[in-house]
Amino acid sequence: MSEIATFGAGCFWGIEAAFQQVPGVIETAVGYSGGETTNPTYKDVCTDETGHAEVVQVTFDPSKVSYEQLLDVFWKVHDPTQVNRQGPDFGSQYRTAIFFHSPEQEAAAKKSREALEASGKLKRLIATEITPAGTFYRAEEYHQKYLQKRGVASCHF
């Protein structure tokens, strides 16, 4: 039986590529979540007016990889202290976000964020929002597995 996790951590291409490397991840899809516009396009989301974040939806086998392990990957692949930006990309669509699908995911995400804050590894406060998962709108096909299709291992993060 599989589960779904949804993360926003800047440009979705690099985040998707990172999660594709995790044993136990069955499938990834990039898209948009957390906004008000129905069926947004990439062009719509780039206006910074839809409220959506670029996200990766991760389908995983919890018998092979835990949600907590996915959270560890999430924290490592971006700067969670940045507000509405990652690297050269800026706008609310690049915000750091965890969209939880169950009370267990919510609790794990909050516990993980608190542990990272308490660790002293970061010089600023974590800006990551932890909110209920809403509708996931799959991005256009050319965005799916974008880096893999181009033979590139990672983005700028």
The CATH number of residue 115's host domain is: 3.30.1060.10
User: Which amino acid is residue 47, in one-letter code?
Assistant: T
Q: Which of 5, 11, 77, 98 is catalytic?
A: 11
The number of distinct structural domains making up the chain is 1
Residue 69, domain extent: 3-149
The verdict on residue 142 lying in a domain is yes
Of the listed ranges 55-59, 84-88, 101-105, the one predicted with least confidence: 84-88
The verdict on residue 157 lying in a domain is no
Of the listed ranges 57-61, 82-86, 142-146, the one predicted with least confidence: 142-146
Q: Output b/e per residue, 34-72; b: 16+ Cβ within 10 A.
A: bbeeeebebebbeeeebebbbbbbbebeeeebebebbbe
Of the listed ranges 22-31, 50-59, 69-78, 82-91, the one predicted with least confidence: 82-91
The model's pTM? 0.92
Q: Is 11 a catalytic residue?
A: yes
Distance CA 134, CA 103 (A): 14
The sign one gets for the Cα dihedral 90, 91, 93, 98 is positive
The verdict on residue 118 lying in a domain is yes
